[in-house]
Every structure is written in C-alpha cells, then in structure tokens.
Amino acid sequence: MATRTSRKLPSIAGTLSMAIQISISLTSSSFAQTSASIDWPQFRGVGASGKGNVKGLPLSWSDDRGIAWKTPMPGPGASSPIVLGNRIFITCHSGYADGSKNAGDQTQLKRHVLSLNLADGKILWDTAVAAELPEQERIREDHGYASSTPVADAERVYTFFGKSGVFALDHQGKELWRTKVGSTLNGWGSASSPVLYKDWVIVNASIESESLVALDKKTGREVWRAGGIKESWHAPAIVTTPEGKTEIVVAMFRKLAAFDPEKGQPLWHADTGINWYMCPTPLVEAGIVYAIGGRNPNGALAVRSGGRGDVTSTHVVWKLNKGSNVPSPILHEGHLYFAHENLGIVYCVNAKSGELVYEERLQPSPGQIYASPVLVDGRIFYIGRGGRAGVVAAKPAFEKLAENTLEGNRGVFNSSPAVGGNRLLLRSNRALYAIGGN
C-alpha cells in the first residue's frame, strides 16, 4: 500500500474537531448565514445542475479587484472545488509534471486532498497519497494527475485518482479506506468524478476497467460492477424517472445507457449518433436526460428515462447537430445553454423541442473552454482556459453582461467553477480564488 502523509497546520489544532460538523460559525455572521445553508458537495453542485441558489455575486472582477482571497495550491490540478458548510475540499498533484521545466522523477508523484476555510481561504489540512506506478509519463493537453472532483457528505470526503484508486477521508484528513477499480491507463489521464447514491459511492471507471462501479461508503467494499462502459469521461448522472424510480445514466461512445442503481443491471440504451468519446456530464430534469458531446461534428439529444432495452426509436425526444466536446451544459427555465470548447461560441437550445434559439460568439474570445459553466442569479459564467470569463444573461436572447480576466489570460483554468456561500470559486493551476462576498 502506498504511504500517506498528512500535514496539519498548528494554528488550527484546536478547531479540527469542529470541522466534522457541516456548519461552523465564522467571525462574520452575515457570511456564515449565507454560506452555512448552501452546499456545493460534488462536481457541478447539488444534482450536478451547475446552478447556485444565491445572490450578490459580482458581475466583474480582475487580479486586483473583486477577490475576497487567493490561496496558492501545492500543485496543479483540473478538479473542481466542492463546498460543505464552511469547508472547501479540493485536489491537486505534486512532485512530477507539476509545470516546471523538468518533469522530475515519477516516483515522487503525489496526489493531495486539501481542506480550506471558506471564509478566508486558509488551508486547514493537506493529506497526500503516493501514486501507484507506473503512471503515464505525460497526460495530453496538460490535464495532469488530479482531474476528478471529490464528493462529500457529513462524514467523509471521497475522491478518485484513477489507477491509484478511490479514497475516503474523514473531515480531519485521515484516510479511512482505499479501493482499486481498475488499472488501465490512457493518454488523456483519468477524469470522471464520483457521485453518491444512498450508502454507495458510484464511480465511472470507464478508463480504468470499462466499468461502472458501486462501493460501500463506509468500507470501500465493491457492491456491484457493470461492464461495457467505453470511452466515457464524466460523472454518472442520477436520474429520477417520471414513475419515481431511480436510474444511473452514463454517456459513452455512440450511446446513452441507464443502469439499476441497486444491482448495476442494464435498463435501457439509446443510440446518440455521436461517434466520439463523451466528456460532458448529462443533465436531468422531469425525467428527461440531456446529453451533449462529440467533435466535428458535435451533437446534442434528449431522451426520456424509464424505458427498457433499445429505446432509440421510442424515447429519443430530439437530436441536434450542435454540442461541445468538453464543458457540460446548463438547463434553466426550459432552455439548454452550453459553450463550444474551441470556437468561443455559446448556444441556447429549446429543451422541449431541440430548436436552436441562438448561436453567438463571445467577444473578445475566451479561447478554449474546458470548464463547465455555472449559473448564479440569472447569469451564466463561461470560463476560458487562460482565465478570461464571459458573463451572459440566462435568458433565450443573447446578452453579454461582462468580461473578466485573471492571471493576465495566461493562466491554466481547466477546472469548473463552484459556488461557496456568496462567493464564486475559480481554480487555476496556480491558485484557488474566491470572487466577491467580503
């Protein structure tokens, strides 16, 4: 077993016991009231919707204004921050291919799980785990070795480090268990984020073993495994059917597929017509699954859940030849919003009919967009890889509201934003930023 080191800062030794609680009192009562009741516990927040139910986030910011705090990270990463009460959890990697000119020695590669104070950005603990080797010598597009976003509940934080396995830590940073779900490597690295269902952690291990795996939250014991998950890079989607039943849906090469969350048995599948690996996480509303993906051409489709077997001819509501290869969409008031990963174009689609409402180019261009957008207070935030953000009104008529830049638009922002209390959390390879909410 790989060794683990845990570094705790002496200044917080007396407060760590309080960290187990979801809500912790802060020095600023107004900030505590705003943040304690709203969590962002997994990739894209509650229900993976990408929507934050707060008001007061700033419309504009830069490197020298609008920033509540900025915390340097021990290393790079593409994972997103998550928030539980007044605690932020995030991952990164160090020791190898960390952005320096010399990649270094792979035996020094470590993954880090960190906890930060939402109020001031101070690092409360940093637990590092050594990688199971060998890993890829290089990951394409510099996505790095910490791309999966953690998920948390009131007792534990769960994170996925590909070949090295799935890890559970308590809220003090102590490792509780680790479980391998496969050993296969890929030039794009490992990226899918785990989700929680009842007492289980659900992991899309398409890259590691072409499997969807359910693990017991308390022990890490494997509960079930479903095979045939090919070229899928996203967090599993938890779907409630119109009949009130639950399904787990995964988008993969050429198809959408649903599984029974209790036993992992296949339920239905639909041909997407997208002959490409799938990165964006599907969205779900009123029993309809919305998925986008592909590259040259892109595609989007809506499928009714609750079917059995091949439902391509019976449950596909609509298809559209517009989509995106990397960022996930937003669903808001009957419309689907998303950005093309390379063209700097944003789209609005009628979610009921699949009709393209608008297709507009952001100016100035944000460059490539790998981060999934977030919607807060009627505004959609699209973050470019360099650090330029376009803010667009969340309505079916294109209106650009603002354009903001961090790190001179020369940073590396592969991580999707999160919302913590009344703050927007943006993460680059250098630092984690809290925008607004003083």
Q: What is the pTM of this model?
A: 0.91
Residue 387: inside a domain: yes
Which stretch of DSSP H or E encloses residue 206?
A: helix 206-209
Residue 314: inside a domain: no
Tokens of 74: 């021990």
Residue 50: inside a domain: yes
Per-residue CA distances from 438 to 28, 57, 120, 407 (Å)? 9, 10, 10, 21
Number of domains in the chain: 2
Q: Which domain holds residue 71?
A: 1-187
CATH at residue 25: 2.40.10.480
Residue 12: inside a domain: yes
pLDDT tens for the chain, 438 residues: list them: 333 433 443 343 333 333 333 333 333 333 333 433 479 999 999 999 999 998 889 999 999 999 999 999 999 999 999 999 999 999 999 999 988 777 889 999 999 999 999 999 999 999 999 999 999 888 988 789 999 999 999 999 999 999 999 999 999 999 999 999 999 999 999 999 999 999 999 999 999 999 999 999 999 999 999 999 999 999 999 999 999 999 999 999 999 999 999 999 999 999 999 999 999 999 999 999 999 999 989 999 999 999 999 999 999 999 999 999 999 999 999 999 999 999 999 999 999 999 999 999 999 999 999 999 999 999 999 999 999 999 999 999 999 999 999 999 999 999 999 999 889 999 999 999 999 966
Confirm if 375 and 394 have CB atoms less than 8 A apart. yes
Per-residue CA distances from 179 to 211, 215, 223, 224, 267 (Å)? 14, 8, 12, 13, 26
Last residue of a domain, one of 187, 202, 231: 187
**Cα 344 from Cα 389, distance rounded (Å):** 11
Tokens of 157: 């934080």
Residue 368: inside a domain: yes
Nearest-Å Rg of the Cα atoms of the chain is 20
Residue 45: inside a domain: yes
Helix (H, G, I), strand (E, B) or coil at 264: coil
Residue 199: inside a domain: no
Confirm if 248 and 202 have CB atoms less than 8 A apart. yes
Residue 163: inside a domain: yes
Confirm if 231 and 253 have CB atoms less than 8 A apart. yes
Last residue of a domain, one of 118, 152, 187: 187
